[in-house]
Amino acid sequence: MSPLAASPWSSAGELLSRWAILCVLAVLYLVAIALSDAFLEPVYVGNILRQAAPVGIAAIGTTLVMILGCIDLSIGAIISFSAVLCAVLMAGDARNVPLAVAVTVAVGAAFGAVNGLLVVFNRSSSFILTLGTALAIYGLTQIFSGGTARGMVAPDFREFFNHRLGDVLPVLALSLLLLAAAVEILLRTTRFGRQIYLIGSNREAARLSGLPVAAVTFACYVISGAFAALGGIAVLARSGVSSTFTGRGFEFDALAAIVLGGTLFSGGRGTVVGTVAGTLVLFIAFNLVNILGFNYNLQLVLKGAIIVVASAAYARLGRDR
């Protein structure tokens, strides 16, 4: 069922169902505060938001694809390619930043367009198609870079995105929040957004109803590719680029965040707010076990346990309703 089809105010249960991940996030944050004062410090919270920005930004675009009932496994590869490409185009000079960012986002969108065309015109699953394009893009990255992460990041570019507004909130973290808000509004208030939910709920019914299934699917993949490129640019802004596999594994982090955020693999349901909250659950979990100083292997156990418990709690609060 589309979240827009039912009234969000129909019942407290329905509200809890829809925003269960926010409850999980709030509980986890309260636990974190109870265990470490650091989580009360605005600057530290700003750090966590900044850490989450690359994965969170990439996950925003992929959320649209998953609401459609599809998947995009190529975002990690696009992040890697984008980070290297943007650094090369920037060439250490702040004057090149606008062009570098524009071209990088355009190339990411082009990769997304290829994914979209393949999914629209091929009967194979989006899982295998985007897995294939991911491999191809990783290969292109190696060919383009020759195995070393070429390019130089302009210092001004990094200073801008790492600057703290009010000495608290990094611009990069604000970028995540603004992009998430923009896409959430797109989903909630536009015809395009409603079409995504309707197609994800029942693709065949949507097709028979005359909805532009192919065009919407194509557009969602273009958006996913563009946001993956923005994720690559965010990686560059946060910590520069030091390898040609910068984004490797990001697709799994993003998928974990999206699933934790309540988006169903089967489509028709999900929110960008949930995805951002899921991303923050992942990063708070990591930071919590790290700041408490647990042994590395115990950190892995606890981080995994927090994710499993958060996921189970969400299922209990949300999906069973």
Partner 1 sequence: MRLLFLSKALACVAVLSAALLPAAAGAQTTDRALQKKQMAEVVDTKKFKKPGPYTIGVAAGYMSNSWVVFCLQHIRYEASLHKDVKDVIVTDAAFNPSKQVADIEDLVAKNVSLIIYWPVDEKAIQPALEKAVAKGIPTVNAGGGFSYSAGTVSNAFIDQWALGEEGARHFVKDLGGKGKIFAMLPIAGTTAAVDQLAALKTVLKDHPNVELLSAEYGDWNRAKAKQISENLLQRYPKIDGVFSPAGQMSMGVAEAFEDAGRMKGLTMSPGDEYNGWMKWVVKNQKGGAVTFPTRAGQEATKLGLKILAGEPVPRGLVIPSEYIAPKDAAKFAEMNKPDDWWASKLPEQFKPK
Rounded Cα distance between 44 and 50, Å, is: 10
Choices 17-25, 114-122, 213-221, 297-305; region in contact with partner 1 by CB under 8 A: 297-305
Q: Tell me how far CA of residue 89 lies from CA of 102, 239, 303, in angstroms.
A: 10, 17, 37
CA 2, CA 19: separation in Å to the nearest integer? 14
Give the integer Cα–Cα distance in Å for 50 and 161.
Answer: 9
Does residue 218 belong to the site contacting partner 1 (CB under 8 A)? no
Query: DSSP readout, 256-290?
Result: HHHHHTT--TTSS---HHHHHHHHHHHHHHHHHHH
Shortest approach of partner 1 to residue 191 CB, angstroms? 27
Assigned token pair, 66: 């998953």
Q: Is 243 in the site for partner 1 (CB under 8 A)?
A: yes
Using CB under 8 A, which residues numbered 31 to 90 contact partner 1?
Answer: 36, 38, 41, 44, 47, 51, 54, 71, 87
293 binds partner 1 (CB under 8 A): yes
Q: Nearest-CA neighbor of 49 among 162, 138, 136? A: 162
From residue 15 to residue 34, what is the string marking binding to partner 1 with x (rule CB under 8 A)? --------------------
Site for partner 1 in 93-132 (CB under 8 A): 127
Distance CA 146, CA 126 (A): 29
Distance CA 191, CA 281 (A): 31
Least Å from the CB of residue 97 to partner 1: 17
- Footprint of partner 1 on residues 255-274 (CB under 8 A)? 255-260, 264-266
Residue 311: other Cβ atoms inside 10 A? 17
- Asked whether position 244 contacts partner 1 by CB under 8 A, the answer is yes
- The residue among 13 and 92 lying less far from partner 1, judged by its C-beta, is 92
Q: Is residue 308 near partner 1 by the rule CB under 8 A?
A: yes
| Closer residue to partner 1 (CB): 195 or 246 | 246
Pick one of 4, 94, 150, 156: the residue that binds partner 1 (CB under 8 A). 150
What is the dihedral angle through the alpha carbons of 169, 79, 301, 31, rounded to the nearest 10 degrees? Answer: 20
Binding site for partner 1 (CB under 8 A): 36, 38, 41, 44, 47, 51, 54, 71, 87, 127, 138, 141-142, 146-152, 162, 235, 238-246, 249, 252-253, 255-260, 264-266, 282, 286-287, 290-293, 296-297, 300, 303-304, 307-308, 311
